[in-house]
Structure 1
């Protein structure tokens, strides 16, 4: 199976926090899921921890390489820049990732959040989301049990799957 591509400074194991969530479900395709993931304004329709999306420089509504956007999640106002955007095609997974940041000094949080959406045999789709984080807030999140990032991202995945099922039925 395919994996996330990590930029320097954000490789899991060398950051302050890391979370990984994945689902594999039958009856959906990458093309069913992609429109709900690639358009940040859709996130709040199926994921309660995303709000107030806006784009800069008249970009949007879909993400694209280099596009700057803003959203709020986990209580953080997150400035973001899309660093990878490859829609799924026959035989190739969809990939989307962004660098996000919030705060300054001791409250600074830097993240790399990446998604991979790929078709598998038997009419299944695999959705993988992983995030690495650096900064004092990331260190605190890593010590929190249960890890709110793991639980929050699972909610995001579950909501994404439910929304894709509703959109295709």
Structure 2
């Protein structure tokens, strides 16, 4: 199976927080899931922890390489830039990742994240959806010290909502 491609400053194990969530389900395809993931304005319809998505410079409504966008999650206003975007095709996994940040640079409130998704078809009519996120900064330390880790629970809810929304289409 495929794996996330990590930028050097965000390799898991070398950041303050890391979350990894994955589902493998039958009866869906990467093509059925992808539009729901690639369109931030749809996120709040199936993931309650996402709000107010918007794009800059007249871009959107779908994510694309290097596009800047904004959304709110986990109480953070997140500015983001897409760093990887490859839509799924026959035999090729879909990949989307963004660098997100909240707070002013060089302050204790600053949070930087690399959030990556992988969506791939598997044999037997199954789809695998993997989402992983690494985080840097004091807010990431606080999240990592919380039990249960809110990132793990939040991303699991995102996955479950994504699957339910794809099944409902």
When the two structures are superposed, what TM-score results if normalisation uses the length of structure 1?
A: 0.98
> Which of structure 1's runs of 4+ aligned residues deviate more than 4 A?
none
Aligned match of 1:153: 155
Provide structure 1 residue ranges, at least 5 long, that are not aligned to the other structure.
none
Q: Does 1:134 align with 2:133?
A: no
Residue aligning to 2:34: 34
Aligned-partner SS, 2:9: coil
Cα deviations by residue, 1:68-106 (Å, 9 ceiling, x for unpaired): 000000000000000011000010000000000001200
Superposed, which structure 2 residues align to 1:34-73 within 5 Å?
A: 34-73=34-73
- Confirm whether residue 77 of structure 1 aligns to residue 81 of structure 2: no
**How many pairs does the alignment contain?**
167
Match of 2:124 among 114, 122, 125: 122
Distance between the aligned counterparts of 1:116 and 1:126, measured in 2? 8
The root-mean-square deviation of aligned C-alpha atoms, in Å, is: 0.4
- What is the distance in 2 between the residues matched to 1:64 and 1:45? 21
C-alpha deviation, 1:8, in angstroms:
1.2
Within 5 Å, which residues of 2 pair with 1:87-98?
A: 87-98=87-98
2:54 match: secondary structure? strand
The separation in 2 between residues aligned to 1:42 and 1:7, in whole angstroms, is 27
Q: Which residue of 2 aligns with 1:102?
A: 102
CA distance in 2, matches of 1:127, 1:37: 10
Unaligned runs of 5+ in 2: none
